[in-house]
Amino acid sequence: MIEEGERLLLVGEKREYYVKAGAGELGTDLGTLDLSTLVGASPGDVIRTHKDVAFTILRPRPTDFFTHARRSGAPMLPKDIGMVIAYTGMNRRDEVLDAGTGSGIAAIYFGNIARKVVTCEVRPEFAALARKNVESAGLENVEVRACDVLEAGGQYDVVHLDMGLSAAHVEHAYTLLKPGGYLASYTPFLEHTFIVLDAAQSLFRDVHAYECMERELVRSGRGTRPSTRVGHSGYITVARK
């Protein structure tokens, strides 16, 4: 049963809306939706506009924030977020430090898995946008800080860096990690990947840089063939304390 204030996804044939259950209306070009009728409904139920156009009610999943979050730049792609999660073994018990929040997409993915996420963003306007996205994702365990990660303290299971990086960031990440914890960095350029690899090599164990080249297999009436939407995004470097 859906409660007042729950964030929901309304999925129609051609459009999707991300709304809050409770008093209020949503005007669409397919008619008006009465959002108070969502309270008490169940996921999978259908709600109709005053023009009788149907929308299915769904509880949003982290994947929906990739589509619906407000963006301040190009976010990390699911393939790369998946690499970070799998290679660090991110889990329910973890405390995660994320830096280079951007619009907060990665922090929201991590916050849906880990116990606690602190994410640092130096640009205050980006931090403010990310805070709105986190709030709209209903995550109370993700804290957005408008700060430089080099000033951050504490002890974490995973430190994730998606930002301009120097050796100092790698060294500081080491001090922020619990024994056995993982650093994972995301760097679009080879030169920055080299900096991370070289700085990590002398401090960490099991240092590896990976690239995930994703291809979709597209199947149509003409036939099936691979398709590359994104040729290169970045390198994921993983190192263990």
Among 35, 90, 152, 165, binds its own copies (CB under 8 A): 90
Nearer to its own copies, 25 or 216 (CB): 216
Using CB under 8 A, which of the segments 19-27, 121-129, 144-152, 207-215 binds its own copies?
207-215
Nearer to its own copies, 87 or 127 (CB): 87
Which among 92, 137, 135 is positioned nearest to 115, based on CA atoms?
92
Long-range contacts of 70-74 (CB under 8 A, 24+ apart): 70/103, 70/129, 70/132, 70/133, 71/102, 71/103, 71/105, 72/102, 72/103, 72/125, 72/126, 72/129, 72/130, 73/102, 73/103, 73/126
Among 21, 35, 144, 197, binds its own copies (CB under 8 A): 197
Interface with its own copies includes 54 (CB under 8 A)? no
Give yes or no for a contact between 146 and 124, defined as CB atoms under 8 angstroms apart.
yes
Kindly list the strands in the beta sheet with 116-120, ordered across the sheet, starting from the edge strand earlier in the chain.
Answer: 142-145, 116-120, 95-99, 156-161, 177-187, 235-240
| 112-141 positions binding its own copies, by CB under 8 A | 112-113
Judged by phi (left if over 0) then psi (alpha if -120 to 50, else beta), residue 223 lies in left
What CA–CA distances, in Å, run from 25 to 20, 57, 100?
A: 10, 15, 36
SS3 state of residue 34: strand
Interface with its own copies includes 185 (CB under 8 A)? no
Interface with its own copies includes 109 (CB under 8 A)? yes
Tally the residues of the chain.
Answer: 241
Among 33, 69, 87, 184, binds its own copies (CB under 8 A): 87
Interface with its own copies includes 55 (CB under 8 A)? no
Closest separation in Å from C-beta 181 to its own copies: 8
**Longest distance between any two alpha carbons in the chain, whole Å:** 66
Closest separation in Å from C-beta 133 to its own copies: 15
Interface with its own copies includes 2 (CB under 8 A)? no
**CB atoms < 10 A from the CB of 116, how many?**
18
Nearer to its own copies, 76 or 122 (CB): 76
Would you state the structure tokens that stand for residue 13, as one six-digit string? 């044939």
Closest separation in Å from C-beta 54 to its own copies: 14
Interface with its own copies includes 14 (CB under 8 A)? no
Nearer to its own copies, 57 or 127 (CB): 57
Binding site for its own copies (CB under 8 A): 9, 11, 43-44, 56-64, 78-79, 81-92, 109, 112-113, 157, 178-180, 182, 188-194, 197-198, 205, 208-217, 219, 222-229, 231-232, 235
